[in-house]
Amino acid sequence: MTVTTERLPMLFCEVEVVSAERLSPSFVRVELGAPELAEFGVDGPRYDQRIKLVLPDPLTGGLAPVAGADDAWLTTWWGRPVAERGHVRTYTIRDVRGSGADTTLVVDLVLHLEAGATGPGSLWAARAAPGDRVVLMAPRRGHAFGGIEFAPPPGAELLLVGDETAVPAVCAVLEQLPSSATGAAFLEVPVTGDVLDVRRPHGMSVTWLPRNGAPLGERLHAAVVGHLGDPAPAADVAPEEVDPDLWETPSYSSSGEPVATAPTAGGPDDLYAWIAGESAVVTGLRRHLVRGVGMDRGQVAFMGYWRRGVPMRS
Ligand SMILES: Cc1cc2nc3c(=O)[nH]c(=O)nc-3n(C[C@H](O)[C@H](O)[C@H](O)COP(=O)(O)OP(=O)(O)OC[C@H]3O[C@@H](n4cnc5c(N)ncnc54)[C@H](O)[C@@H]3O)c2cc1C
């Protein structure tokens, strides 16, 4: 039975795995469907729209109860122990297929094999099969949900940078950009077999950077620094310098720093950079773009999608 609620300004419902496919060594693609997805939608392009999955209990397979949820119920639910409500993980809508009650959301999940694929998200993805159920939080058409960070000024030259966790977002953005868009995307993935086909405007270059055993972020940092015209080697980021909640966009800063800053003299004024991935890697790139290259904080979005060695807070 599908359970949902009409009383929330978002979709909070059980969805079913319609298909599950091992896309590559490190990615599993699932297609999620439910009649409630007829109500799914955002105003304008969904770009890097994030969603949340509440995963079944890895031991019992039990799903978080969502029946009758309203705002008060949801607040209580968030306050409950993870053991009762299930682990929540954040993902990106890679694609939307079908329409009406046949709408499905496509989500590409990383298996995190370098970490042993032991997190609840990786475990669920590794075992996902048609008929499995999971709880989804997603935008309901006509209601503000948030979760789209890609917001370049019109005509900006684009720089899209991500590791494997941000590959779904960058690919979704590339496929939705206007055909006139220009710029470059750099994507680091665990192994060569993870390089995927992606549609893109002619003016956007895409460079895949398989690690194949190289340290996390090393190739990505070097490629971005080189692209910006500076051959300086990667600066190490000490663990204490990493903001575990790193999230800096033109409208929000996890550090509490003012978001509107005066442009730095000499910085590129027509470049917009969207950078997401492991927090230490993103911290290193942030330092280079803001302090080194002099980019204005209003032209960048830096997002820590995960942190090596630290399970995502549920
Ligand atoms: C806005 C947003 C959008 C996102 N979109 C996607 C998406 O579309 N697809 C996707 O797969 N992820 C995406 N992520 C990242 C995802 O939420 C995290 O990687 C999450 O930690 C995965 O949960 P898990 O249960 O598998 O691992 P966790 O329980 O969180 O972690 C378990 C262990 O694995 C390690 N680990 C976690 N991620 C990796 C990794 N990539 N490589 C190596 N070790 C790792 C952790 O450090 C920890 O040691 C997104 C995150 C955000 C914030």
Instruction: Summarize pLDDT for 74-103 with one digit per residue, the tens.
Output: 888 888 888 778 899 999 999 999 999 999
**Helix, strand or coil, per DSSP, at residue 44:** coil
The pLDDT value recorded for residue 105 is 98
Position 194 pLDDT exceeds 60: yes
Which DSSP string do the residues of 125-179 spell out, in sequence order? Answer: HHH--TT-EEEEEEEBTTS--------PPTTPEEEEEE-GGGHHHHHHHHHHS-T
Position 234 pLDDT exceeds 70: no
Instruction: Summarize pLDDT for 105-144 with one digit per residue, the tens.
Output: 999 999 988 877 678 999 999 999 999 999 999 999 999 8
The pLDDT value recorded for residue 211 is 97
pTM recorded for the entire structure: 0.92
Place of tokens 């230490």: 280
Position 2 pLDDT exceeds 80: no
**Helix, strand or coil, per DSSP, at residue 296:** coil
Dist. CA 142–CA 145, nearest whole Å: 9
Question: Which residue has the least CA distance to atom 22 on ligand 1?
Answer: 121
Q: What's the 126 CA to ligand 1 centre distance in angstroms?
A: 13
Q: Which residues line ligand 1 (CB under 6 A)?
A: 50, 89-92, 108-110, 112, 114-115, 118-122, 164-165, 168-169, 305-312
Question: Which residue has the least CA distance to atom 19 on ligand 1?
Answer: 306
The pLDDT value recorded for residue 3 is 46
pLDDT category, 266, cuts 50, 70, 90?
low
Indicate the top mutation candidate among 118, 164, 310, 312 to test ligand 1's pocket, ranked by most ligand atoms within 8 A of CB. Answer: 312
Q: What's the 288 CA to ligand 1 centre distance in angstroms?
A: 24
Dihedral, CA atoms, 309, 48, 69, 99, nearest 10 degrees?
-130
Position 228 pLDDT exceeds 50: yes
